[in-house]
Amino acid sequence: MDSFELNKVAGAVLGALLLAMGTGFLAELIYKPKPAGDRGYALPVAEETAGGAAAEAPKEEPLPVRLASADAAKGQGAAKKCMACHSFEKGGPNKVGPDLWGVVGRHKGGHEGFGYSAAMKAKGGDWTYDDLDHFLKSPKGFVQGTIMAFAGVSSPQERADILAYLKTLSDSPVEFPKP
């Protein structure tokens, strides 16, 4: 074995060593265990509270401010979704829900001849704009147990428009609260 051959052998050994190390390194790169991360899934509780706060973020103008810029004509358009269940004329018929002529200032559950839920009859007081705003936002939220099967009007300004329309449905309209 001359030195040339010895060099070849050494080279081969060195190459093999390098290869082995290299593969080891590569393998480690590829198979390096990742941190386990979170197992299962986080319960959405915390997120929901955060989401809830965020959902309320687009702040609602106070009702008197919204009413000041409310549009009864737009409200009449928006009230189309109520017409499946309500009439709006003076002396109009009760349908699925009571006639809404003169509802502002009327006793809650106070329309003659309509079979209100016990919840509505128990609510008590007259319908103010503020109460109507809350009821229309979430009927079941405002009167737990109401039989008004309606999800509610989520847009604050659309509710104000509807209230402006309801105001017109009276011989002696109730004034809006002052901003």
The smaller minimum CB distance to ligand HEC, of residues 6 and 122, is found at: 122
Q: Does 156 bind ligand HEC (CB under 6 A)?
A: no
Among the listed residues 87, 105, 110, the one whose alpha carbon sits nearest the alpha carbon of residue 172: 105
Applying CB under 6 A, what is the total number of residues that bind ligand HEC? 30
Give the relative orientation of helices 156-168 and 129-137 as an angle to the nearest 10 degrees: 130
Q: Residue 71: how many CA atoms within 13 Å on its side-chain side? A: 6
Q: Indicate which single residue of 66, 101, 108, 164 sits in contact with ligand HEC (rule: CB under 6 A).
A: 108
Reported as type and span, the H/E element at residue 173 is: none
Q: Indicate which single residue of 68, 72, 85, 174 sits in contact with ligand HEC (rule: CB under 6 A).
A: 85
**Judged by CB under 6 A, which stretch of 46-54, 62-70, 97-105, 167-175 contacts ligand HEC?**
97-105
What is the sign, positive or negative, of the torsion defined by CA atoms of 175, 125, 93, 86?
A: positive
Residue 167 burial (CB count, 10 A): 21
Q: Does 117 bind ligand HEC (CB under 6 A)?
A: yes
The site for ligand HEC (CB under 6 A) is made up of 79, 81-82, 84-86, 96-98, 100, 103, 106, 108-111, 116-117, 119-120, 132, 136, 143, 146-150, 153, 162
